[in-house]
Amino acid sequence: MIYLDNSATTRPLPEVVEAVTAALREQYGNPSSAHRLGLAAEDVIEDARADVARLLGVKAKEIVFTSGGTEAINAALVGTALAHRGRGKHIVTTAVEHAAVLETCGFLEQVGFEVTRVPPEPNGVVDARAVLGALREDTILVSVMHVNNETGAIQPVQTLGQQLKRLPKVIFHIDAVQSFGKLAVPLTGVDLISLSAHKIHGPKGAGALYIREGLKWEPLLHGGGQEAGRRSGTPGVPAIAGMGAACRWWLAHGQEAVRQLSEIHAAFIEVLRQKVPGHRLNSPPDGAPHIVNLSFPGFKGEVLVHALEERGVYVSTASACSSRSAKGSHVLRAMGVAPEVNEGALRFSFSPFNTLAEMEEAGVALAEVVKELRPMMRR
Cβ atoms within 10 A of the Cβ of 228, count? 10
Residue 321's Cβ-count burial label (10 Å; 0-12, 13-18, 19+) is: middle
Q: Is 321 a catalytic residue?
A: yes
Rg (C-alpha) for the chain, rounded Å, is 21
By the 8 A CB rule, do 127 and 145 touch? no
Please tell me the distance from the alpha carbon of residue 288 to that of residue 286, in angstroms, as a whole number. 7
By the 8 A CB rule, do 309 and 346 touch? no
336: left (phi over 0), alpha (psi -120 to 50) or beta: left
Please tell me the distance from the alpha carbon of residue 250 to that of residue 95, in angstroms, as a whole number. 31
By the 8 A CB rule, do 149 and 94 touch? no
Residue 110's Cβ-count burial label (10 Å; 0-12, 13-18, 19+) is: exposed
Please tell me the distance from the alpha carbon of residue 368 to that of residue 201, in angstroms, as a whole number. 31
Please tell me the distance from the alpha carbon of residue 143 to that of residue 158, in angstroms, as a whole number. 13
Please tell me the distance from the alpha carbon of residue 174 to that of residue 169, in angstroms, as a whole number. 16
- Which is the catalytic residue, given 82, 167, 321, 377? 321
Q: Which residues contact 378 (CB under 8 A, 6 or more apart)?
A: 298
Per DSSP, the three-state class of 4 is coil
Of the candidates 190, 115, 106, the one whose C-alpha atom is nearest the C-alpha of residue 145 is: 190
Of the candidates 16, 57, 358, the one whose C-alpha atom is nearest the C-alpha of residue 201 is: 16
CA count, 13 A, side-chain hemisphere, 265: 25
Active-site positions read 321
